[in-house]
Chain A
């Protein structure tokens, strides 16, 4: 009888110990109005990246197959980046997000035109775009008016580069 009482007490003790342990695993309750705030797209993306694969799968399972495949592919690229690459990309994206929605759309349209250029031209334009982004506004303007810039790029390419560089300093 004593032994069974001891066993019961031990089970109860183990149970009472495990309950707070379980509670510790639960995320803290929402601290208040801040928790009600919507997550930014980058927050959502980071949460998707950090969540266990089974949970990510559950999110992806809700999507139609074609859309799921596209999101999954891009998400995997994002996950596969190094921490440094991700940090740099997030920084770029935050700058882009600061643009008004209509300017963001103009940028996307210009990018669509950039993607329609032949691959060799795209390489040249990409290099030039990165160079322009390193410059101060005055230097950039000077470069866009330069003979070399006019010599290297077609009018269509110059327009794309000039507008992209102006939109995303």
Chain B
């Protein structure tokens, strides 16, 4: 028999061995293997300890009060109108709200990424609009406006003559 720890099925083999679900031939082969494999012996011992602990654990008995309150609640539900019974199936819990919040945050993030930042622009200009801007025309306009601005510029204040001169 190949060592279960090397074949990767040690969990199945150990659980089957401890729970006694192996066939007699499988059990005999595994016990023969364990005689020469310290690793499997240790694992089997640990697994048996867990099973023994579970066997020793006794569940506390369910109180009569639990049954009474459960039946009373079922009867109360049955008295509710149908639409309330439908709604009664839904109970709010924070647990499902977390993935909803994450999904909404993801949507909001995608929305913000989709819309580029607006910087004093009255409306967002699509990227394609830069293609409609002709660099030659813009350059000529800027040159002409610079020329007109220089002719229109107010004259600088005259240099003051030093007092007494």
Residues of chain A having any CB pair with chain B under 8 Å: 2-4, 6-7, 10-11, 14-15, 18, 21-22, 25-27, 39, 41-42, 44-45, 47-48, 50-55, 58-59, 62-63, 67, 70-71, 74-75, 77-78, 88-89, 92-93, 96, 104, 108, 111, 114-115, 123, 126-127, 129-130, 164
Q: How many A-B residue pairs have CB under 8 A?
A: 144
Q: Name the one of A39, A41, A129 contacting B151, with C-beta atoms under 8 angstroms.
A: A129
Q: A21 touching B111 by the CB < 8 A rule?
A: yes
Contact bitstring B122-135, A, C-beta under 8 A = 1, else 0: 11111101101111
| Majority secondary structure of chain B interface residues (helix, strand, loop or mixed) | helix
Q: Please, could you name 24 A-B residue pairs with CB atoms under 8 Å apart, sorted by A?
A: A10-B100, A10-B104, A15-B107, A22-B111, A27-B125, A41-B140, A44-B133, A44-B141, A45-B138, A45-B142, A50-B121, A50-B122, A53-B119, A54-B116, A55-B125, A59-B130, A71-B139, A74-B142, A77-B146, A89-B145, A93-B145, A96-B148, A123-B156, A126-B153
Given A3-B95, A27-B126, A108 and B147 contact (CB-CB distance below 8 Å): yes
Question: In the complex, which residues of chain B have a beta carbon less than 8 angstroms from the beta carbon of A164?
Answer: 151
Given A44-B141, A67-B139, A14 and B107 contact (CB-CB distance below 8 Å): yes
Question: In the complex, which residues of chain A have a beta carbon less than 8 angstroms from the beta carbon of B141?
Answer: 41-42, 44-45, 93
Question: In the complex, which residues of chain A have a beta carbon less than 8 angstroms from the beta carbon of B36?
Answer: none
User: Which of A4, A27, A44, A127 has most B Cβ within 10 Å?
Assistant: A44
Q: A14 touching B103 by the CB < 8 A rule?
A: yes
**Does B114 touch A at the CB level, under 8 Å?**
yes
Given A14-B107, A47-B129, A93-B148, A70 and B95 contact (CB-CB distance below 8 Å): no
Q: A92 touching B148 by the CB < 8 A rule?
A: yes
- Measured between alpha carbons, how far is A54 from B119 in the docked complex, in Å? 9
Q: Name the one of A27, A44, A52, A96 contacting B134, with C-beta atoms under 8 angstroms.
A: A44
| B18: min CB distance to chain A, Å | 35
Q: B138 touching A41 by the CB < 8 A rule?
A: yes
| B22: min CB distance to chain A, Å | 38
Residue ID in chain A nearest B142 by CB atoms: A74
Residue ID in chain B nearest A41 by CB atoms: B141
Question: In the complex, which residues of chain A have a beta carbon less than 8 angstroms from the beta carbon of B110?
Answer: 18
Q: Name the one of A6, A51, A58, A67 contacting B90, with C-beta atoms under 8 angstroms.
A: A6
- Measured between alpha carbons, how far is A26 from B129 in the docked complex, in Å? 12
Question: In the complex, which residues of chain A have a beta carbon less than 8 angstroms from the beta carbon of B142?
Answer: 45, 71, 74-75, 78
| A50: min CB distance to chain B, Å | 5
Q: B125 touching A47 by the CB < 8 A rule?
A: yes
Residue ID in chain B nearest A44 by CB atoms: B133
Q: Name the one of A21, A54, A70, A111 contacting B147, with C-beta atoms under 8 angstroms.
A: A111
Question: In the complex, which residues of chain A have a beta carbon less than 8 angstroms from the beta carbon of B146?
Answer: 74, 77
Q: A26 touching B126 by the CB < 8 A rule?
A: yes
* B81-124 interface with A by 8 A CB criterion: 89-90, 93, 95-97, 99-100, 103-104, 107-108, 110-111, 114-124
